[in-house]
Amino acid sequence: MYGKAAICLSFVILFLISCSISVGTVDLRSYFFPLLQSPQVPRSLCASGPPLLVYMYDLPRKFHVGMMDRRSFEGPAPVTADNFPPWPSNSGIKKQHSVEYWLMASLLYGGNGDEDREAVRVSDPESAEAFFVPFFSSLSFNTHGHNMTDPETEVDRRLQRKENLFMLPDIILKSVSFLELTSIDYSGIDLSFQVELLEFLRKSKYYQRSGGRDHVIPMTHPNAFRFLRQELNASILIVVDFGRYPKTMSSLSKDVVAPYVHVVDSFTDDDALDPYESRTTLLFFRGNTVRKDQGKIRIKLAKILSGIDDVHYEKSVATPKNIIMSTEGMRSSKFCLHPAGDTPSSCRLFDAIVSHCVPVIVSDKIELPYEDEIDYSEFSIFFSMKEALEPGYLVNQLRQFPKDRWVEMWKQLKNISHHFEFQYPPKKEDGVNMLWRQVKRKLPRAQLAIHRSRRLKVPDWWQRRR
């Protein structure tokens, strides 16, 4: 009796296994012949699901594209995809802070292919999941306030105040008196416009509704929005690092780390048969060596790395000619050095990535874009500042670096470099789509904070614990 039962049970088991194999739910090769398995196809970084619905405030041109062309500074026509100006080809180093421009451009784009886009613009703010503030704060600093104390700085300060007034009525009215706002000469900006903004702001409810937590504000220049940053600390900030932001204002949990926009041309025909041998320089650095904070390491590295035959370490400033020379230098080098500057990050890292030059990162406090999706150790080498300042250590490590491992990093750089491209129209998995996806991932936390704030009857006890 037991024998018959065992035979029946065996028959049932064999039948189920046969069915599973036939429909593909069981792969016996993975158990008995693992080396015969087909390699896994790398999953696309581009997220599935519907795009983020973003409402973009219709700010006057002077807050964004008007800074690119003074002739259209006060233009009455609304900015559309048809009249949106191209990024100027002669902008030089200013391009590195242009993430704000590309984010705005992506929302203006009305072409097909929503399945490849991480965010689309909506005309109804009630249907929006996030709100984009198109204030070119970095370009404002570069245009109006670069010297920090010159008269143009007041224009930058004025734009920040007016932008904040447009969105943040209660906060600004408490911190800045109306008398102060109307008694300062803002380089030809008339009082009537300020009054108009105040009238409009009192009708706006979306920032007040969420306390700004679902608002996206780009601040990629280290000095962008420097006068009123603290008034915006609830919003999702787009930053390149946290070097000049207090911990109480900006953090990885709330904000999005963006790459600098590269200023060297992308290496699109990097198809050498032996890329390792074709790059004759071991280590390349070309840039300003007089920096503040952790950037002081650049002067020290200059002394350590000088006089080494296959190491190019040169003090330089960013002129059009020097940018071309840096492009050539990175393309002919195996490794590109990225020491900390005035802040932990700089454009040099992303110039190296699109040049397929393996980055050597020496910056103890650096934070990197898209790091929840991209493993930088697959194509970069990291040294602590202490290690880098040990004479001979860094160069010896690079000389001993295996060729085959370098080639794998070079291949990976070619595979991921498109995630650091900013262009119009936007393309699948490019830099701007990567950033919008990062914004999308910050919103659940923002919604939690919004909902808690609506029901709290006392000051947030959780904040008081810290």
Tell whether the model's pLDDT for residue 198 goes beyond 50: no
What residue spans define the domains of the chain?
52-162+187-261+428-455, 281-420
Is pLDDT above 70 for 154? no
Worst-scoring range by mean pLDDT, 18-22, 78-82, 110-114, 319-323?
A: 18-22
Q: How confident is the model at residue 403, as a pLDDT? A: 98
Max Cα–Cα distance, the chain, nearest Å: 103
What percent of the chain stands above pLDDT 90?
48
- Pick the more confident residue, 66 or 232: 66
Closest CA to 232 of 249, 255, 208: 249
54 pLDDT more than 50:
yes
**pLDDT exceeds cutoff 80 at 226:** no
Q: 232-236: list long-range contacts, CB under 8 Å, 24+ apart.
A: 232/164, 232/168, 234/449, 235/133, 236/130, 236/439, 236/442, 236/443, 236/446
Highest mean pLDDT among 86-90, 111-115, 398-402 belongs to 398-402
Specify the pLDDT at position 203: 55
Q: Degrees (nearest 5) of the Cα angle 22, 25, 27?
A: 85
Most confident range, picked from 51-65, 131-145, 147-161, 449-463: 51-65
The CA R_g of the chain, rounded to the nearest whole Å, is 27
Q: 228 vs 390, which has greater pLDDT?
A: 390
pLDDT at 92: 86
The listed CATH number (3.40.50.2000, 1.10.10.60, 2.40.128.130, 3.40.190.10) that belongs to domain 281-420: 3.40.50.2000
Q: Quick: pLDDT tens for 262-283.
A: 999 999 999 999 999 999 999 9
Q: Output the pLDDT for position 332.
A: 98
Question: What's the pLDDT at 178?
Answer: 36
The mean-pLDDT minimum among 128-142, 145-159, 319-333 falls in 145-159
Mean pLDDT, rounded, of the chain? 80
pLDDT of residue 14 exceeding 60: no
Q: List, in sequence order, every residue forming a beta bridge with 358; answer none if it has no partner.
A: 335
Lowest-confidence range among 28-32, 114-118, 156-160, 237-241?
Answer: 28-32
* 7 pLDDT tier (thresholds 50, 70, 90): low
Per residue in 337-346, pLDDT tens? 999 888 889 9
Query: What pLDDT is stored for residue 40 in this prediction?
Result: 40
Contact between residue 219 and residue 229 where contact means Cβ atoms under 8 Å apart: yes
Count CB atoms within 10 A of the CB of residue 148. Answer: 11
Closest of 180, 177, 138 to residue 160, by C-alpha: 138
Distance from the first to the final alpha carbon of the chain: 71
Which range has the worst mean pLDDT, 57-66, 110-119, 300-309, 401-410? 110-119
Those residues whose C-beta lies under 8 Å from the C-beta of residue 374, and which sit 6 or more positions away, are 45, 368, 416, 419
pLDDT-derived band at 188 (thresholds 50, 70, 90) equals very low
Least confident residue range of 45-54, 133-142, 324-333 = 45-54
Q: Buried b vs exposed e over 333-344: b needs ≥16 C-beta within 10 Å? A: bbbbbbbbbbbb
Strands 119-121 and 130-132: unpaired
DSSP 101-113: HHHHHHHH---S-
pLDDT in tens, 96-140: 999 999 999 999 998 766 678 999 999 999 999 999 988 888 888
Q: What is the tens place of the pLDDT at every residue in 424-456?
A: 999 999 999 999 999 999 998 888 888 888 887
The pLDDT value recorded for residue 74 is 64
Residue of 84, 104, 85, 227 lying closest to 164 (CA atoms): 227
User: Which is higher by pLDDT, 187 or 392?
Assistant: 392
